[in-house]
Structure 1
Amino acid sequence: MMSSVKVECVVKESCLIGEGPVWEESEQTLLFVDIAGQKIHRWSPTTNHIQSMETGAMVGFAVPRRSGGYVAAAGRSIVAVDWSSRTTSRLLEVDQEKPKNRLNDGKVDPTGRLLAGTMALEERPAVLERKQGALYSVTSDLSVTKHFDQVDISNGLDWSPDEKVFFYIDSLALSVDAFDYDTHTGDMSNRRVVYRMAEGEGLPDGMTVDVDGRLWVACYSAGRVICIDPETGVRLQSVSLPVMKTTSCCFGGPDYSDLYVTSASLGLDQSESRQQPLAGATFRVTGLGVKGRPSNSFAG
């Protein structure tokens, strides 16, 4: 299967920290953010055209909203995004007692509930005050629940195809964890490790789940995306990319068989930048022989 896998750079515009790719089925576009560049991007594979807007704060993620537009993480705030006017309006704020925190990755569960995590501001990539973050959920009426704290870098999250398991990454823990998940209440319990990163696999960052329930995890500082069977804890596949700081991934394309992978350029020295001219670009991986699922939209 690996012999047919192809990796191509599709968005050459370099991001300081490209993150949170989401495939928009209705628009057939890829939505992603540049965290440190404080921008939200939309790229069309049909026209190869990219549209962007500035957020005025570090932006951890952007996801579609059922009522139109998007919701995004800007600093410690969840904001509504009006794409036509390129403006944002604040809906709520988390970690009010921690002004040196920010929101990082976020995703919407099968019922339309938004889950989003926080972390301390970094001194440099992956160097920060530890145990300052938390994981929150936001319901359609904008009620906020804190599920747990003592998080270092709240990162990848997704759900099993049967919606009964929630997968979660705290990057510096070097593991992918699972919880039993109740989609009706949003409650999560029975936390356990389903995969521990091996030597040379870097930090687990963004993540997506395919239709068969396997996890695809971007490995920051290791230049790859790995596929994990959460039932056995076995790595099934590894896809190498021409950049070291792979940050996140999602499935997209007309039949969700393309894997889109974001990357970062922030923190590279001159030598590393010369060796990785595509650092910060976005890539498309084809020929994996698997498919992903449509993303969920926030119900609020």
Structure 2
Amino acid sequence: MTNAKSFSSLTAQSKVSSQCALGEGPIWDDQREQIFWVDILGNAVHWSNEDGMDHQSFQTPDYVSNIFLTKEGDDLILCLPDAFYLWNPESKNLKKWIEMPDYDPHVRTNDGFCDIHGNLWIGTMALSEKPKLGKLYLLDADQNWHTMLDETSISNGIRCSSDGTTYYYIDTPTQLIREFRFDSDTITWEFVRNVIEIPVEEGHPDGMSMDAEGRLWVSLWNGYGVVCVDPEKGEVVDRVEVAAPQVSANIFGGKNQDRLFITTARKELSESKLDVYPLTGDLFYVPMNVTGSETYRRDV
């Protein structure tokens, strides 16, 4: 895939030495002008400014997988295995907000997304990583849960078009980015097509962001980078190199929405591999020549 093409020379640099066991869920808060991300296995939320300064962290009582912004701006929504929690980074106050449906202590939340309609999407997966034990849920504006997909394995990147009708979704073991057509009135969607299949030797598709041109930036677990997929063409059109094997997620941010922030993970890597890639687990970033799509906020 990538070896057959010539891409722009984009190489990410370590911005925060967070050394996460499983860095994930980056999100840019344009009101605070800070980048937030999580260490799922470290039970921690991290944040800093766009230059990586003023790095802080907060310990959570369980795995924390994803962060959503709220319209009020003071609270963030944290996704823990049993529920969504409201959390204030300034006061450090954490309180349960909405319980997850069918909570199972052997299952945790993973990647998620707030769409243009204000719906919160969150995937789940087995702690054992056994296949088909997860689901993809949607929490609508009236705080009703909907099961959008059943028997998922490792639910990851999800993004929507600016008109809120076309959605892209990754269940990592499938190696596929799939396109769905969404109806916001009925809270239903239907499969349209497979956009692209990532060859296993190139890495496993993980977290995903979207740029202002509608292209998808896909993090590659065991792929040492982030690839840009043109969903119309169904092909990789660019690549960001990352000095870490396990690249987990990414988001556009910075004051001008022209920096790509990238999370990485140390999970299960050998000491010899970490000696070669000592920055693994850090938050990386790279200046971009394209801006990101809007990050949406949720009413609470």
TM (norm. structure 1) is: 0.93
Q: Distance in 1 between matches of 2:206 and 2:160?
A: 16
| Pairs aligned (count) | 294
Change (3 A) 1:285 1:184: farther
Q: How far is 1:191 from its partner?
A: 4.0
Change beyond 3 A, Cα 1:64–1:155 = same
Amino acid at match of 1:294: E
Deviation digits for residues 65-105 of structure 1, max 9, x if unmatched? 12331111112321111223323222233352633111101
Residue by residue, what CA displacement relative to the aligned partner does 1:8-48 show, whole Å, maximum 9, x if unpaired? 11111211111111111111110111100111111113571
One-letter identity of the residue aligned with 2:221 = Y
- Is contact 2:81-2:105 (8 Å) kept? no
Specify every segment of 5 or more residues in structure 1 that has no aligned partner in the other structure, as ranges.
123-127
User: In 2, distance between residues paired with 1:137 and 1:96?
Assistant: 14
2: CA distance, partners of 1:129 / 1:257: 37
Bigger shift: residues 210-219 or 3-12: 3-12
1:294 and 2:294 equivalent?
Answer: yes
CA drift of 1:130 comes to 1.0
Structure 1 moving runs of 4+ over 4 Å: 1-4
Paired AA for residue 242 in structure 2: L
Contact 1:77–1:103 (8 Å) recurs in 2:
no
Match of 2:3 in 1: none
**Is the contact made by 2:178 and 2:191 (CA closer than 8 Å) also made in structure 1?**
no
Cα deviations across residues 137-176 of structure 1 (Å, max 9, x unaligned)? 1123321111121100011111123322111110011111
Cross-structure match for 1:115: 121
RMSD of equivalent CA atoms: 1.7
Q: Give the alignment partner of residue 98 of structure 1, picking from 94, 99, 104.
A: 104
Q: Give the CA deviation at 1:6.
A: 4.2
Structure 1 residues 96 and 219, CA gap change in structure 2 (3 angstroms): same
Query: Contact 1:104–1:155 at 8 Å: present in 2 too?
Result: yes
Q: What's the TM-score, normalizing by structure 2?
A: 0.93
Distance 1:202 1:140 in 2: 36
Judge conservation of contact 2:118–2:297 (CA < 8 Å) in 1: yes
Is residue 2:93 matched to residue 1:87? yes
Other-structure match for 1:125: none
Contact 1:120 1:132 in 2 (8 A): yes
Secondary structure in 2 aligned to 1:200?
helix
1:173-214 per-residue CA deviation (whole Å, 9 max, x = no partner) reads: 111111012234432113421110124221110000111111
